[in-house]
Amino acid sequence: MRNICDRLAGAIVRRSAREDADLEVISYGLQGILGTALEFVFIIIAGVLLGILKEILVVSTVFVAIRLLAGGVHFSTYKRCLVSSVLMLVSGGFAARYMAYGSVFTGKAYIIAGSLFVIYSVYRYSPRDNPNRLITEEELPKFRRGSLAAAGIILAGLVLDLLLKGYVTWYHYSLVTGLLLESITLTDTGYRLAKFIEKKLSPRRC
């Protein structure tokens, strides 16, 4: 992905009339756009093949919406990030589908417990930066308020819809699951898990 974006950035710079065009900045932007697009394509394909497209779309949308503000753990390479993101969101789609077939009590307990965990995690840990996007001291309050506001709006909408309907539906589970997945990536446990996986995937030296 980086090689492809470097070549595309080189072509853009050569055709650009601006002398101050930064190849690295353009390449980084392309990596973000194309990388996200490729992840979305794989997620759509997985959702269609596994029959969980509607769940995985809601889970992914909520996950990304909060992640843009709250940040969270990242893997060191695009390939690992791609595979981990697809597997995590597919698992989230299955979790939402499974909960929809469970008992009413279990479903409500999942909604309540999940919502409380989301509120705690976002309040306690957000925002968290990564080597690709460092957050300055001046930006911290803005991203923190944005993270809390976004999570609060989603949860408030969920609660309002529950009160109006009087019962839990598949998209309620999907909303909470998407929030939960992002919340986990904010926690210290999420960072330790990612570090453990990175260590296991790293080539061993003789």
pLDDT band at 116 (very low <50, low <70, confident <90, very high): very high
Q: Is the pLDDT of residue 134 over 90?
A: no
Q: What percent of the chain has pLDDT over 90?
A: 49
DSSP for the chain reads -HHHHHHHHHHHHHH-S-TT--HHHHHHHHHHHHHHHHHHHHHHHHHHHHT-HHHHHHHHHHHHHHHHHHB----SSHHHHHHHHHHHHHHHHHHHHHHHTS-HHHHHHHHHHHHHHHHHHHHHH--B-BTTBPPPTTTHHHHHHHHHHHHHHHHHHHHHHHHHHSS--HHHHHHHHHHHHHHHHHSHHHHHHHHHHHHHHSPPP-
pLDDT at 206: 45
pLDDT at 74: 82
2-37 pLDDT, tens digit per residue, is 666 667 666 766 666 554 456 566 665 666 677 678
The structure's pTM equals 0.83
155-202 pLDDT, tens digit per residue, is 999 999 999 998 899 999 999 999 999 999 999 999 999 888 888 777
